[in-house]
Structure 1
């Protein structure tokens, strides 16, 4: 049984300064620093029970380290050597294991440093160092998409060429729709931002329906022509094309669009045939990111929709129009910088990487 009223421990000559330095060190092992505190408190005559409280351990542990110091001095506070040969695994072995999926018995999708360390029977700091050295980050994941469009090269060349060298006396419009925009209303009023406090809102909300935003971005100026509609069928798209025809009554219009089925219905194709001022340029399949209006959609989502509170679809539509009016007052050109060659080289690298895996 640990004696909680043991007599004051007698320190060897010169040990007090060494023990104090251990308690103050930022590089020494935490366990050794704790043992140094135990011995110092024991030397002051503090009871075992009180020492256990102060250093957050048990009276049995206090008794153990008092006894080890009394018998062996400072060397007695060191960890006893473990039986068997020390386990050594180099960084390459750690990385090789990291790159393989964890065994099914763990039920996880990727390694953590602690789980891998336990699996390899090494310290998790060793795993973390190897990961830093090789730039391996198992906790991170990104998405990618590459196009399987057989006309990939032709479409990329067409669209990028349009951006970098637009036709004379013509306007390039990036056209698309942002569908299923939700009119979300919070269940309680938001708490506004204050000095020292961020804006706060309830985690739950009320749904009031959805709307669809049709938009055409004029890349040379940044001007946006838009309409909000309840749905995004061919009827609504045709109505938006007629709106563009009224907004640009005389100029030739080059429309960059994705391959959404609504853009290719028989009625839409017929309307485009009947209006030769409209020239359509389709982005590759799975290549809608080539459409610059997607950048503008990200802006309106981040600045007006994501944190908005909308009491109805009509309220949502009204605030979307407010943003568009404000945007057109402060608009700026959208400049494309990547060449066709850069895009196709990246697409080829992704395709090759996916094939190899």
Structure 2
């Protein structure tokens, strides 16, 4: 059993309004219109931890307010409960973040002998199969939406994860292969013979 693990970090809820240099130059569009209140503040931020079982496409995501070795170990405990017990070996592919090598993670690996951590090479994020899935999750949960709080982001991520798990499929590297219609036999130009005709 292989589990691919990564973090989508950080996700931020923010407002979108006009920059001050534009709002001072652009008058209201009609008489009596008021200028929108300018708000540039970021409201909340947090981190989403995720795990993927590539053999069946099932995923698990958990939101956290910040990242640390303690929260990473907590997430590993949740993943251990999530993975069926009949798998004897669990290979967790992780990046080289210092929290992944902390003493809490070492204690976790000693307490859970079926787990083995495989660290991907530096500058090789493409080897982590969960990275393309983050792109899919972002398009399902965040694309085209505006969030006012971290709780709204967490709810959107949970909803998108549930949607993915209901429609999951085995996850593989590379582009998704498109179904090509079978060509009908008929008259066709033979390659390299075009100049010989007529």
After TM superposition, the score normalised by the length of structure 2 is 0.71
1:277 aligned partner: 114
2:21 aligned partner: none
Once residues 166 and 120 of structure 2 are traced to their aligned partners in structure 1, the CA distance between those partners, rounded to angstroms, is 29
1:315 aligned partner: 152
Q: Which runs of 4+ in 1 moved over 3 A?
A: 185-188
Deviations 1:94-134 (A, max 9, x none): xxxxxxxxxxxxxxxxxxxxxxxxxxxxxxxxxxxxxxxxx
1:212 aligned partner: 47
Unaligned runs of 5+ in 2: 19-38, 175-198
Once residues 155 and 101 of structure 2 are traced to their aligned partners in structure 1, the CA distance between those partners, rounded to angstroms, is 30
Local SS of the residue matching 1:335:
coil
CA RMSD of aligned residues (A): 2.2
Residue 307 of structure 1 and its aligned partner are, at CA, apart by 2.1
**How many aligned positions are there?**
154
Structure with bigger gyration radius? 1
Would you say 1:177 and 2:7 are equivalent positions? yes
Would you say 1:224 and 2:68 are equivalent positions? no
Deviations 1:176-220 (A, max 9, x none): 1111101123449xxxxxxxxxxxxxxx86521111000001101
Once residues 290 and 222 of structure 1 are traced to their aligned partners in structure 2, the CA distance between those partners, rounded to angstroms, is 17
1:331 aligned partner: 168
Once residues 330 and 275 of structure 1 are traced to their aligned partners in structure 2, the CA distance between those partners, rounded to angstroms, is 31
Local SS of the residue matching 1:319:
helix
Residue 245 of structure 1 and its aligned partner are, at CA, apart by 1.1
Would you say 1:304 and 2:141 are equivalent positions? yes
Which aligned pairs between 1:250-289 and structure 2 lie closer than 5 A? Answer: 250=85, 251=87, 252-289=89-126
Once residues 336 and 327 of structure 1 are traced to their aligned partners in structure 2, the CA distance between those partners, rounded to angstroms, is 17
Which of 239, 244, 247 is the matching residue for 2:82? 247
Once residues 98 and 107 of structure 2 are traced to their aligned partners in structure 1, the CA distance between those partners, rounded to angstroms, is 15
After TM superposition, the score normalised by the length of structure 1 is 0.41
Which aligned pairs between 1:165-204 and structure 2 lie closer than 5 A? Answer: 171-187=1-17
Once residues 178 and 273 of structure 1 are traced to their aligned partners in structure 2, the CA distance between those partners, rounded to angstroms, is 27
Which aligned pairs between 1:13-162 and structure 2 lie closer than 5 A? Answer: none
Q: Between Structure 1 and Structure 2, which shows a larger proportion of helix residues? A: 1
Residue 269 of structure 1 and its aligned partner are, at CA, apart by 1.5
Unaligned runs of 5+ in 1: 1-170, 189-203, 338-357
